Amino acid sequence: MSEPSLLTRPPEPEHGRRRALPTALHGAVRWETGLALVVVAIFAFGVAVSPDFLTTSNLFNLGVTSGEVAIMALPMTLIIISGEIDLSVASILGMSSALLGFLWARHWPMLLIFVMVALLGVVAGLFNGLMVTRVGLPSLAVTIGTLALYRGVALIILGSSTVSNFPAPYSTIGVLGVANSNLPWNVAIFAVLAVIFGVVLHFTATGRSIYAMGASPEAALYSGIRVKRIKLLLFVTSGLVCALAGVLWTFRLSTAVQNNGIGMELTVVAIVLLAGVSIFGGKGSIIGVVLAVLAFAGLQDALLLTNFNQEATGIVTGGLLLISVFVPTAGSVVARSREWFRARGHRAPSAIGAGHE
Amino acid sequence: MSATVDTKQETSGKPPRVSSRRLTERVFRIRESGIIAVLIVFVAITVSIEPRFASQQEVQFILANTTIFALLALGETMVIVSRNVDLSIGSVVGLSAYVSASLFGKIHGIPIVVVFLVGLGIGLAVGVANGIMVAIGRVPSLVVTLATLYIVRGLDILIVGGNEVVAQTLPNAFIEIPRAGVYGVPYLAIVIAVVIGIGAYYLRSYRSGRELYAIGSNPEAARLAGIPVGRRVFTAFAVSGAIAGVAGVLWAAQYQTVDSNAGTGYELTVIASVVVGGVAIFGGSGSAVGAAIGALLLQTINSALYVLGISPFWDQAIAGALLLAAITLDRIISLRLTAALRRRSAGVGT
């Protein structure tokens, strides 16, 4: 009864995969090492195209505009490693933003609003998690549904109105750093969360369990890991963190509208995949995600400084994403075709040989 | 999932009371029956509250909106049935809509057929690229088509620049395509219905169509059974792309003003239609007709909310809730069926 965790796990013969990279190369060609080089290259490119790239104000901008995406990428990483996916993240962001605006327009005290928004995030995540773990539905389908549902709730809450009269300490987080430094608030929060998520994922038993259930759900279950409970917890965490991202987003732009962050779920997924996290689960690291965020933000910003059409940067995002999936499999594609030719040479007429590839 | 249940039933023994049970099971097992019932009930309630909903104008509006989604749902069904997903269709619709519609302004008197062929060609090119990467590169389709979603939309934005195609540049014959019809039923809707019928028949009855289900049920078993998995999956993506290309041209005819936002987010609406229509998200079961009815249901709901004077703000929440209800119901039914079958075979054993 075990469904594959995500669409299309390619039916790859085991030996084909092992032959992909000689074991000696495994340590040296770690995904993160390559990604770090890419980040360096992107920043070099940024400096080359514009002297403004390495200025404080530009770096502040670079950070502040990608803070929320980066924050949402953290719980997404854990969820994808565990073998699931959450496509409702941007809708939870939008829904939180809508609730924040709605309550503020009704003169609720800000602290109480924060509690309500956090609660909304938890409930949204809990619903996703229960549908996946207790009803037993595929997370891809569930979160496509809640993507529409939560965005719809945002629409119902706020309609077509816009709330933008947020008070000063909150509304200035898009222009002022933490304690008047040059560190944007959302970047600081991302850094703190990255450390927490990194520790949980890499240095705790729970973290190891997340890898285990992504690599093999049944083996994880039979070795006594509470798969459902941990997955539920991951979805709830994702909901809460996305609600936080919604608050930051709203204050940074000083606007609560229902379509805040629309379509951002795919950007978040793209960053996580670029980080070397396997869409099938069981593989990936937080360092990779931090590097992917840097690569993504740096590239976006560098292209902004050139005359490249800003909205068309999706071409580069998509290109990076394709490269990120093809580079690690390039070896196995070569190995596979070599094997295929060898099989042909030895026993060309054998149907079994050809079928086996 | 239902496919496996099917085979189990054949092999299990035949207790005497089977025939009466089998009928109810068969009704349950027609995945479309649930959604057709929902559609009928929904239309009946809406019409009883607001008779205007049954007017010719309204029906035409709903059908015109549905055609594009139902057509896209056909291609997406082929892909999803084979346990893949095509996220790039929204971007393909956008690119194809702009490039094809802008031809009218650039080349005077260009035949409409040529414009459709250009749209088809654009879609086919993207579909072939997706297919090659998924089938030969063996990269998960979710990742590949997420990337092409971005790349194609980016190309679209570069090509469009700040321009847009406006209605005045389009010939009347082109604009009339989604509008001409008899008794409020656009000819286009009839053509699309026939196309979907053919597609559904192909998936149901042709060997290569059935093989898509086999691949979706169990890719590894399909491969061992000698099914050319790569070639079939490649074809599914190529067809899905080509269909999205044609849908883009229809989009231009329907909405007439085309900028770089055309078709944004369609991929998720189409997948929602397909899943509501009873196609399992992990492949192996569901029909193109069901997917088309799913698209019709979602568009009907949109229009009904409008006619009933319910704020359009509720559209999306209801569409989402419906999708969740559909997959939950499907899950419950399949669990019940499995349990019933297990009970029966246990009864036979003793």
pLDDT tens, residue by residue, B48-84: 888 888 888 888 888 888 999 999 999 999 999 999 9
pLDDT of amino acid B9:
41
Tokens of B20: 């009466």
B318-349: pLDDT as tens digits: 878 877 887 887 778 777 877 887 887 776 65
Nearest to A155 among B220, B317, B328 (CB): B317
Q: A77: closest CA among A170, A202, A167, A260?
A: A202
Please report which confidence band the pLDDT of residue B313 belongs to, taking 50, 70 and 90 as the band edges.
confident
Output the six-digit token pair for B51. 């008779």
In chain A, which residue's Cα lies nearest the Cα of B321? A149
Rounded alpha-carbon distances, angstroms, from residue B80 to A132, A215, B74, B209: 20, 24, 10, 13
| pTM, full prediction | 0.80
Say which of B85, B264, B328 has its CB closest to residue A137: B328
Which are the contacts of B183, defined by CB distance < 8 A and separation ≥ 6? B56
The answer to whether the beta carbons of residues A279 and B84 sit under 8 Å apart is: no
CB distance from A354 to chain B under 8 Å? no
Mean pLDDT of B268-285: 87
Q: Which residues on chain A are in Cβ contact (under 8 Å) with B271?
A: 144
Bridge partners (DSSP) listed for residue B165: B258
Tell me how many degrees the CA angle B316-B318-B321 measures, rounded to the nearest 5: 110
For B194-217, what is the mean pLDDT? Answer: 93
The position carrying tokens 């919604």 is A246
Please list every residue in chain B whose beta carbon sits closer than 8 Å to the beta carbon of residue A321. 143, 146-147, 150
Measured in angstroms, the CA of B177 and the nearest CA of chain A are apart by 31
pLDDT exceeds 80 at position A187: yes
- Which of A322, A327, A340, A357 has the most B C-beta neighbours within 10 Å, making it the best mutation to test the interface with B? A322
Q: Report the C-alpha gap between A11 and A27 in whole angstroms.
A: 26
Q: What is the pLDDT of residue B23?
A: 59
Higher pLDDT, B187 or A334: B187
Is pLDDT at B8 greater than 60 in this prediction? no
Q: How far is CA B235 from CA A129, B79, B209, B266, in A?
A: 35, 9, 10, 22
pLDDT at res. B347: 67
Exposed / middle / buried, residue A19 (Cβ in 10 Å: 0-12, 13-18, 19+): middle
Question: Would the CB atoms of B134 and A321 count as touching at under 8 Å?
Answer: no
The angle subtended at Cα A280 by Cα B230 and Cα B83, nearest 5°, is: 40
Residues of chain A positioned with their CB less than 8 A from the CB of B217: none
Partner-chain contact B327 A317, CB within 8 Å: no
Q: Is there a contact between A318 and B147 if contact means CB atoms under 8 Å apart? A: yes
Short-list B117, B131, B68, CA closest to B94: B68
For residue A301, how many C-alpha atoms fall within 13 Å in the half-sphere facing its CB?
Answer: 30
A77, pLDDT greater than 90:
yes
- Across the range A270-275, mean pLDDT stands at 90
Contacts of A279 in chain B (CB under 8 A): 140, 142-143
Instruction: Give yes or no for A141 touching B (CB within 8 A).
Output: yes
Average pLDDT, chain A: 84
| DSSP letter for each residue of B114-156 | HHHHHHHHHHHHHHHHHHIIIIIS---HHHHHHHHHHHHHHHH
pLDDT at A5: 42
Question: Best of B138, B145, B149, B335 to disrupt the A interface by mutation (most A CBs within 10 Å)?
Answer: B138
Count Cβ neighbours within 10 Å for each residue of B278-302 and write b for 16 or more, e otherwise.
bbbbbbbbbbbbbbbbbbbbbbbbb
Q: Which of B150, B161, B272 sits opposite A318 (nearest CB)?
A: B150
- Among chain B residues, the shortest Cα distance to A328 is held by B139
pLDDT of residue A19: 44
In tens, the pLDDT along A282-338 reads: 989 999 999 999 999 998 888 888 877 777 778 887 888 888 778 766 666 666 556
Percentage of chain A exceeding pLDDT 70: 83
Tokens representing residue B178 in the block: 């989604």
Would you place residue A348 in the very low, low, confident or very high pLDDT band (cuts 50, 70, 90)?
A: very low
Tens digit of each residue's pLDDT (9 = 90 or more) over A188-219:
999 999 999 999 999 999 999 999 999 998 99
Q: Mean pLDDT in chain B?
A: 85
Q: Which of A10, A145, A316 sits opposite B323 (nearest CB)?
A: A145
Percent of chain B with pLDDT over 70: 90
Of A4, A142, A269, the CB nearest to B324: A142
Q: How far is B262 from chain A (nearest CA, A)?
A: 14
Helices (H), chain B: 2-11, 18-29, 31-49, 56-81, 89-106, 112-131, 141-160, 172-176, 187-205, 207-217, 219-224, 229-255, 266-276, 288-307, 315-349
**CA-based nearest distance B217→chain A, Å:** 10
Task: Flag whether residue A34 sits within 8 Å of chain B, measured between CB atoms.
Answer: no
CA distance B297 to B247: 19
B331 touching A, CB under 8 A? yes
- Determine contact, residues A293/A70, Cβ cutoff 8 Å: yes
Chain B nearest-CA residue for A88: B320
**How open is the CA angle A332-A334-A336, to the nearest 5 degrees?**
65
Residue B284, pLDDT > 80, answer yes
B133: which chain A residues are within 8 Å (Cβ-Cβ)? Answer: 322, 326
Instruction: Report which of A320, A230, A282 is spatially closest to residue A42, judged by C-alpha positions.
Output: A320
- Please name the residues in contact with A24: beta carbons below 8 A apart, sequence gap of 6 or more: none
- CA B213 vs CA B79, B159, B286: distances in Å: 10, 38, 9
**Which of B:180-219 have CB within 8 Å of A?**
219
Contact of B62 with B303, CB cutoff 8 Å: yes
Phi-psi region of B250 (alpha: psi -120 to 50; beta: other; left: phi over 0): alpha
By the CB < 8 Å criterion, does B323 face chain A? yes
- A72: tokens are 């949402």
Residue A7 has pLDDT above 70, yes or no: no
Strand partners, A15: none
Evaluate whether B63 touches B179 at the Cβ level (below 8 Å): no
Min distance B10 CA to chain A CA atoms (Å): 19
Residue closest to A208 by CA, chosen among A228, A227, A195, A232: A227
Show which of residues 297-326 on chain A sit within 8 Å of chain B, judged by CB atoms.
309, 311-319, 321-322, 325-326
CB contact under 8 A, A141 and B323: yes
* CB atoms near residue A36 (< 10 Å): 16
Q: Does pLDDT of B11 surpass 50?
A: no
Point out which residues pair with A177 in neighbouring strands: A184
Nearest CA to CA, how far is B108 from chain A (Å)? Answer: 29
Is there a contact between A315 and B154 if contact means CB atoms under 8 Å apart?
yes
> Could you tell me if A74 and A194 are in contact, meaning their C-beta atoms sit under 8 angstroms apart?
yes
Work out the minimum CA distance from B173 to partner chain A, whole angstroms. Answer: 33
Q: How far is CA A91 from the centre of its chain?
A: 14
**Which residues of chain B have a CB within 8 Å of the CB of A143?**
none
- What percentage of chain A exceeds 90 in pLDDT? 49
CA distances A295 to A42, A275, A303, A313, B172, Å, are 7, 9, 12, 13, 48
User: Do A270 and B146 make contact, defined as CB atoms within 8 angstroms?
Assistant: yes
State how far the Cα of B350 lies from the Cα of B347, in Å rounded to an integer.
6
* Residues in a beta bridge with A11: none
On whether any CB of chain A is under 8 Å from the CB of B225, the answer is no
Instruction: Please count the other Cβ atoms lying within 10 Å of the Cβ belonging to residue A231.
Output: 23
Among B residues 13-52, those touching chain A with beta carbons less than 8 Å apart = none
Please name which of A124, A123, A121, A140 lies closest in space to residue A132, comparing C-alpha atoms.
Answer: A140
Interface residue of B79, B86, B143, B341 to substitute, partner A, most A CBs within 10 Å: B143
Residue of A nearest to B80 (CA): A7
The reported pLDDT for the residue numbered A109 is: 94
At A184, is the secondary structure helix, strand, or coil? strand
HSE-up of residue A259 (Cα within 13 Å, Cβ side): 6
Tokens in use for B179?
């509008």
Predicted confidence at residue A3, as pLDDT, reads 42
**Residue A85 φ then ψ, to 5°:** -150, 150
A224 contacts chain B (CB < 8 A): no
- Residue A140 token pair: 């891809």
Please indicate if any CB of chain A lies within 8 Å of the CB of B314. Answer: yes
pLDDT digits (tens, 9 = 90+) for A21-40: 444 444 445 788 888 998 99
**Sequence-separated (6 or more) residues with CB below 8 Å from residue A11:** B219, B220, B223, B229
**pLDDT category of residue B168 using cuts at 50, 70 and 90:** confident
Q: Which residues of B touch A269 (CB under 8 A)?
A: 146
CB contact under 8 A, B328 and A131: yes
End-to-end, the C-alpha distance of chain B in Å comes to: 27
**Which of B4-11's residues contact partners 24+ apart within 8 Å by CB, and which partners?**
B4/B217, B5/B29, B5/B334, B5/B337, B5/B338, B5/B341, B8/B341, B8/B345, B9/B341
Put simply, the answer to whether B327 touches A141 (Cβ < 8 Å) is: yes
CB contacts < 8 A (A, B): 184
The DSSP-derived string for A301-352 is: HHHHHSSS-GGGGHHHHHHHHHHHHHHHHHHHHHHHHHHHHHHHHHSTT-HH
Taking an 8 Å cut-off on Cβ atoms, the answer to whether A11 and B151 are in contact is no
Strand pairing partners for A184?
A: A177
**Residues in A 101-130 with any Cβ partner in B closer than 8 A:** none
Residue B324 makes CB contacts below 8 A (sequence gap 6+) with A131, A142, A145, A146, A149
